Structure 1
Amino acid sequence: MTVYKALTIAGSDSGGGAGIQADLKTFQELGVYGMSALTAVTAQNTLGVQGVYPIPLQGLKEQIDAIGHDLGTDTVKTGMLHSSEVIEAVSDKIRTYHFQNLVVDPVMVAKGGAKLLQDEAVEALISKLIPLATVITPNIPEAEMITQRKINTLEDKKEAAKQLIDIGAQSVVMKGGHEETNDVVDLFFDGYAFLELTSPRIQTRHTHGTGCTFSSAIAAELAKGKSLTEAVKNGKAFIRAAIEHPLGIGAGHGPTNHWAYMEQLRGVKR
């Protein structure tokens, strides 16, 4: 039996909708064995982030070493890397173990507005991690922060995507969830051609963890040997199903439904 493996390096979400928890749920649903290295523990629910407690840097390094020395991985997905020291450590470990298929989700701000990336860490993200990325998956505010340009139109998104390629990423998915449009346009750019993945916007407040889930679905598909284009298309289908069939829990921005996609494929309900 072939076992596909994925490592997520990110923060823990006690509410289970984003971060490590969302990543591992997504990996499991897509038939990939999930592993984790925690960068921080958060006290968090659908109403917001109540506290962030960083893991000691040595503890993070040893978690990644544990995977690199023994289990190995077919893909790595990064999420909340809150400081330049963490970004540099993660980048060094990725190079040390020659980890492939790196999906960088540049988590900067939580859904409720809490800052999850220190200002000084943006430069480390640009110089250390993005050049290692197979694909980077920023939303509009994150792309604006990295590229230092305003993004208002589709052409703006394309120019920002080109800039991210120039920084060193192999490909880019510019997520369109933050735009105020009737349709959501997620823009994929592989350095050669643009692909617009368009779907009607779903009106719901239950969108906590959408970015984590989308990027971890892409990572899972890459782990299984899918092409970049296939992985992005399947990731889009996964997150759309997760948003379209909400769990309806929590008083704020509720989590997405991580098992909806596979229910649709199997034609069964849990």
Structure 2
Amino acid sequence: MMNHIPRALTIAGSDSGGGAGIQADIKTFQELEVYGMSAITAITAQNTLGVTGIQEIDPDIVAKQIDAVVSDIGVDAAKTGMIANIEIMQIIAEKVKQYQILNLVVDPVMVSKSGHSLLEEEARLALKELLIPLAMVVTPNLPEAEVLIGKPLDRLEARKEAAQMFIDWGAKHVVIKGGHDKNKEKAEDLFYDGKEFVTLSAERFETKHTHGTGCTFSAAITAYLAKGVSPLEAVHQAKTFISQAISHPLQIGKGHGPTNHWAHRMRRE
């Protein structure tokens, strides 16, 4: 009899440059031996230099994509990435509840590496009301957490208070990513389950090739959840995966290049 194959769904935007969005997610799922599927919320024209165009997908088509994969193949874990408007967000929330997708990772993608806003202002409020309450893990970086919380998070105590707010909004676990904090010698993420804080630390690498870091990290968490790993262990493993991806850059493109999704294999070979 065949063993169960873990299945993960990414609900996010397409990155034509292949470094972020559903492309990064599918690559990550594949590397972690999880069957990857996608529901595309927007098509972006972008490369390592920036985003030059965005075409949002009709909400009904987003719904049909989710229906198609869940009703036939099934989903053990899912993640959300770039969601450009409230209508799509509402559809996703409805479908997550309809299909009782418990292992949901919410990556609140707001601004691309090039500084391009990827989430409409009013959608930020909807994110707090619609998706964060459904999240098994929510993964904001510092700038995203500051936008959602509405104040600077330059101190550890402020980050702990912010983490509690995410839990108060309904998330079961939160990891506030500290990679943007240049004051720290190491890249320190703060994980919180509503009871205990855990600091996850990794070496900081000086490189401009970090495009898709957040997508890849959240996709790795999703992949490990699909495999039945606990949220804390999933975050631990994902931190290792993304650290390897950043520390072995591909040197692709003229701007912020992508991380290396197969770097973790170098350690095993």
TM-score range, shorter chain: over 0.9
| Aligned residues of 1:38 and 1:60 also touching (Cα < 8 A) | yes
Aligned partner of 2:219 among 216, 225, 241: 216
Count matched residues. 266
User: CA offsets, 1:115-137, max 9 Å, x none?
Assistant: 00000101110111100000000
What percentage of residue pairs aligned between the two structures are identical? 57
2:255 corresponds in structure 1 to 252
2:142 corresponds in structure 1 to 140
Question: What code does the residue aligned with 1:220 have?
Answer: A
* Structure 2: runs of 5 or more not aligned: none
Aligned partner of 1:192 among 183, 195, 216: 195
User: CA offsets, 1:191-210, max 9 Å, x none?
Assistant: 11011011221000000000
User: CA offsets, 1:72-116, max 9 Å, x none?
Assistant: 100011000111111111000100111120000000000100000
Question: In the alignment, does 2:249 pair up with 1:241?
Answer: no
Root mean square deviation, CA, Å: 0.7
Query: Could you tell which deviates more after superposition, 56-65 or 8-17?
Result: 56-65
* Structure 1: runs of 5 or more not aligned: none
Regions of 4+ moved over 6 Å: none
Q: CA deviation at 1:243?
A: 0.2
Partners of 1:5 and 1:116 in 2: CA distance: 27
| Aligned residues of 1:149 and 1:160 also touching (Cα < 8 A) | no
Map 1:51-90 → 2, pairs under 5 A: 51-90=53-92
TM-score normalized with structure 1 length: 0.97
Partners of 2:117 and 2:33 in 1: CA distance: 32
Query: Could you tell which deviates more after superposition, 34-43 or 183-192?
Result: 183-192
1:150 corresponds in structure 2 to 152
Aligned partner of 1:206 among 204, 209, 217: 209
Partners of 1:200 and 1:26 in 2: CA distance: 21
Partners of 2:155 and 2:242 in 1: CA distance: 23
1:113 corresponds in structure 2 to 115
